[in-house]
Each structure stands twice: as C-alpha cells, then as structure tokens.
Structure 1
Amino acid sequence: MKKFTALCLAGVMAFSLAACGSDSGSGESTQAQETDTQAVTEAAQSESAAQSTDAGADTQASDGETVDLTDIGYDHLIIGVDDTFAPMGFLDENNELVGFDIDLARAAGERLGVEVEFQVINWDMKEQELNQGNVDLIWNGYTITDERREQVNFTDPYLDNEQVVLTMADSGITSLEDLSGKVVAAQINSSAVEALDAHPEISDTFADRPVFDTNDMAIMDMEAGRSDAVVADKVLLDYVIARKDDPSQYMILGEGFGSEEYAVGVRKDDTVLLAALNQVLDEMKADGTAAEISEKWFGADIVK
C-alpha cells in the first residue's frame, strides 16, 4: 500500500506540472499525463496481485508440501476425546491416555509442526465444545453422520466400523427381532443412538432405551441385569470383550445396525486445517505409519 500511495502522489505531481506548461507543450504534457496514469494503474494492479498472493499463502498449502500450522497461527492443537473409548482413546492401568487415535493424532501433530494436547470432553457436548473453540478437533472414534455434517466438517474417513448389538451369551437373544420387549442401552448422543433412531421398526419395539454417559456404564448396566443388550461400536466392543475375564459370557449378534466410517471433526471455517489433516493422513497411509499404528492396536492393518 505504501508503494501504491507513493505512485499516486507521483502521478498527481506529474499532472500538476503538465497543467502549468505553455500551450505549445500541451501535446507533450497530455502524452506525459497518459503515461504517468498508465504507470499508476499498472502499479496498483501489481500491488493488488501481490496482496492476493499473500492472502493465498495464508490459506493454501503448496502442492506436495506439508503445511506447518505455526505459519497460520497454531502453536498447538487441542483434541477433544472420550477417555473411555477403547481402543481409540482411553485411560490404561497407569491412568495414561492411550489408543489408536491418540497415537495417530500425535504422529499427525509431528508432521504439522505442532504439539497436540488432549482434552477429555463430555461426548454429549462434543460439537458445542468444538464450535465454541474449547477444542480444535474431535478425534476419538468420531463417526460421520448426516446430522453431524451440519455442524462440523470431516476429514476423509480413515477407518470402517459397525453399530452392533452386545448381549450376555445366556440372554436368549440371537437376532434383532428378539430385542422386542427388551431394554436396550447405548451411550448418550452417540452414533449408536442415531443408528437406533434410523431403524424405528426395530427400536420402537424395545421396552426401554436408557442412555449413559459412557459405553462402559451401558455395559455394566447390562452385566448387572438391568439392561438386556447394548448397541455400540464394534471396534470398541471387540476390544473390551476380548479383555474380559471370561469373554465367552458375551455375544455380539451377527446382524446389526449398519456400517459407518470414522473421521476427524473440524470447525466449518478451519478449511486450512482440514486440508492439512487430509494431507498428512494420506502421507501416513502411504508410508506405512498408519498401518504400523493399526497393527499395534488391532493386530492388523485395518486403515482405509
């Protein structure tokens, strides 16, 4: 802008000098005026183009080059998690936050040049926590749904999942039809609840549909005999049941409530962060980093 102002002043001075000249030099003065005006116009266009380029540099990543988020104002990322959602993000026996998503997020943070900080949030309020700026990302077995798309942007999906039904092996429940008249629990405001809402022909036959703050609480309610079944993520149930003292006491029905995908939730206006995350996720899939983390937690590479 300073260059533009100086050129404007130069143009005004040139015009003033031309106006003070004799009539015999009027043709030369007019020509000089037109030349100066053209120079000012070209300078303004050049300045505008430079400003546009600078703005683009703040919002777009260079092709093939990972964005350093510190360049666009991030010195760290706060990631909202549910610390009971094994094996995606949960507290281990040492009360340390661990899991597949925890490792994946840390690896992504290193590539983006920022520290990551994990903040336990009320899963029922996750979208509000994100959009109010309390966290920068939702990254903990976060299922893509149409309802959530209205509130957040999602990265490309990185893992497949299913909503399935868990019962005690001696419950006599072997199909979705057997849930008629039963008490079926789920985690509040989870994709399991949305899956049940999407199948009223089944869920409307339940005797009751209690919801709990965590999946662990829902499972414990079933174990205590107050609920007959739990609807939850297969990724979580497989991990939890395999670590029970007697896994044979539990059964996951062969039919469930459909497949889904996990992705990272980002604020609608954080388009640069969204693009950067997609880029590093692609890089980690391509170079085997994501597969290595998957092998650690699932015993196989199940990353999309």
Structure 2
Amino acid sequence: MKWQKLLALGMAAIMTAAFVTGCGGGADKTNNADKTKKIVVGLDDNFPPMGFKNESNEIVGFDIDLAKEASKRLGREVEFKAIDWSSKEAELKSGRVDILWNGLDITEKRKENMLFSDPYMDNRQIIFVKKGNKDITDEASMAGKVIGTQSASSAEEYMDSNSFFKEKVKEVKKYSDFVSAFMDLENGRIDAVVGDEITGRYYMSKHADSLDVVDVAVGPVSTFGIGFAKDNQQLRDDVQKVLNEMKADGTMAKISEKWFGKDITKK
C-alpha cells in the first residue's frame, strides 16, 4: 500500500506543477498589459529627424521626443533599441521590442502583421536630386536613371510593385538607410533619391548647397503611425490615449515646431 500512496502523491505533485505552469503561461501572455513594465521602442537610429544619433551618440529626434513624453505620462520607463529596419516585423512579433515608433508608414500589408495607432502625420515620397540637375522633373523623367532609396521603406515597396521602375529605370539601388543614399547622390554615384519628404527635407536643410528637391509626389501619400504587436491591444490603447491628450494640450504641436519649424502633425 505504501507504493500506492507514493504514486498518488507523485501524481498530485505533477498536476500541481502543471497547473502552476499553466497559470504562469497565462501571466506571460498578459505581460503586455503590465503598466509597470519598461516599454522597448524599436527604431532605425539613422532616420533623421524622426530618430537618429547626434554628435554625442545619443538617440534623439521627433519620434523620440513623442515617445519620451508618452512614456512619462504613462508612468513607464522607455528604452530605445536600434534594430535592422528590414526585420522590424519579426522584432515586434518576437517580443524583442514592444513598439515600432520611427516614421512608420501605415499600409494594408503591414496591418496584416501589426496593430497601428491613429495616424499622427502625413508623409509623401518625393524626388531629391543633385544641385543643378534639370533632367529629372517628375516620375516619368527618371527613365534610364539610377535611383536610390532605403530598403524596406514605402518608396521601395512602391517602386518594387510598379512596372515603370522595373522596365524603364536603369537601376533601383537600395540602401540600409536614407543618409547613405543621399551621400551617394551628393557624390554623383546615383541620379536621384526617392524617399520620405520629412527625412529628405531635414537632410536638405543641412546640405542646401548640394541638393535640390523635385516637389512632386511619387506614389500614394501615406501616413505615419505607431506599430504594436497583434496581441498588444492594451498597450496600443494606452499609448493612443496619451497621444490624444498631447494633441489636445498642444504638446505634440510644440515638439513638431522644434523639429520642423511648424506644426505638421495631423489634427
């Protein structure tokens, strides 16, 4: 009979362990709603003025200021984590980052894999050329040219899906970041850059003597939003609530004026 009692005790211990493990699994799944947990923001840290490293190697930018203010209002710490932007959805899905907040265009394709905040800024893809270039005046005039853009950007998505860029453009050269593309443009290695207006105009403000803008939209006008994992509805709602407050009290407008000279956020 002794062995039967031992067997019963062993079975009870296994069931208890399984129950505890099951409860622990449930806790992990609700971890996203933990309002004391640090928020990890994934970003491309070479995307001025949205998020980039300054001369002191600190990550700064428009989106950085927004995220800091939002985290402060939520009473949570924030960590900014530089990631490979082309792998951003995998980083979000794996839980290595909680949020993608870095001039992220809202697209139907991306909505399949993540939740978005409400749009907070419009963004066009426009053309940038070397100072004095009069050959490129619109999308059609890029035929036969070498065009640069950033990998995994909305401009790349548009050009990859457009037969004109596959058949008429000499080459679409893809870079890890827009800064590298602009540097090649200044050095004459490519004929134009198609990219985010906000990033390009900020870069141009620092290099006005070497670059020009062709103020024509390439592809559809997009909007920026903040990306969250599909199972992270609570965090999405919490962040949206404080963003709404920041719009209403003028904080978002002030941050925009700091980086762009005027309020260009969506009302």
1:50-89 matches, cutoff 5 A: 72=34, 74-89=36-51
1:1-304 matches, cutoff 5 A: 72=34, 74-171=36-133, 172-202=135-165, 204-244=167-207, 247-257=208-218, 258-304=220-266
| More relative contact order, 1 or 2 (CA 8 Å, 6+ apart) | 2
Runs of 4+ aligned structure 1 residues displaced above 6 Å come to none
Deviates most, 268-277 or 253-262:
253-262
In 1: Cα distance, 2:76 partner to 2:170 partner:
49
Determine helix, strand or coil for the equivalent of 1:142: strand
In 2: Cα distance, 1:292 partner to 1:123 partner:
28
Kindly report the root-mean-square deviation, in angstroms, between the aligned alpha carbons of the 2 structures. Answer: 2.0
Can you give the 5+ residue segments of structure 2 that lack an aligned partner in the other structure? 1-29
Give the counterpart letter for 1:79 in structure 2: V
User: Which structure carries more helix by proportion?
Assistant: 1
Give the counterpart letter for 1:256 in structure 2: A
How far 1:265 sits from its partner (Å)?
0.3
Give the counterpart letter for 1:124 in structure 2: S
In 2: Cα distance, 1:115 partner to 1:207 partner:
48
User: Which structure carries more strand by proportion?
Assistant: 2
In 2: Cα distance, 1:254 partner to 1:70 partner:
42
Contact 2:89 2:113 in 1 (8 A): yes
Could you give the per-residue CA deviations for residues 6-28 of structure 1, whole angstroms, max 9, x where no partner exists? xxxxxxxxxxxxxxxxxxxxxxx
TM-score normalised by structure 2 residue count: 0.84
Give the counterpart letter for 1:195 in structure 2: Y
Going from structure 1 to structure 2, the CA distance change for 1:71 and 1:201 (only over 3 Å counts) comes to: closer
Contact 2:105 2:223 in 1 (8 A): yes
Contact 1:212 1:218 in 2 (8 A): yes
Contact 1:70 1:113 in 2 (8 A): no
Give the counterpart letter for 1:152 in structure 2: M
Determine helix, strand or coil for the equivalent of 2:195: strand
Q: Which has the larger radius of gyration?
A: 1
Give the counterpart letter for 2:241 in structure 1: Q
Determine helix, strand or coil for the equivalent of 1:114: coil
* 1:24 alignment partner in structure 2: none
Tell me how many residue pairs correspond in the alignment: 237
How far 1:199 sits from its partner (Å)?
3.3
How far 1:147 sits from its partner (Å)?
1.4
Deviates most, 149-158 or 192-201:
192-201
Determine helix, strand or coil for the equivalent of 2:41: strand
Give the counterpart letter for 1:208 in structure 2: E
Could you give the per-residue CA deviations for residues 131-152 of structure 1, whole angstroms, max 9, x where no partner exists? 0111000001111111111111
Contact 2:100 2:226 in 1 (8 A): yes
Could you give the per-residue CA deviations for residues 267-300 of structure 1, whole angstroms, max 9, x where no partner exists? 0010111111111110110011111111111111
Contact 1:163 1:195 in 2 (8 A): no
Could you give the per-residue CA deviations for residues 133-188 of structure 1, whole angstroms, max 9, x where no partner exists? 11000001111111111111110010111011111133322222220000111111
In 1: Cα distance, 2:157 partner to 2:168 partner:
16
Could you give the per-residue CA deviations for residues 41-61 of structure 1, whole angstroms, max 9, x where no partner exists? xxxxxxxxxxxxxxxxxx8xx
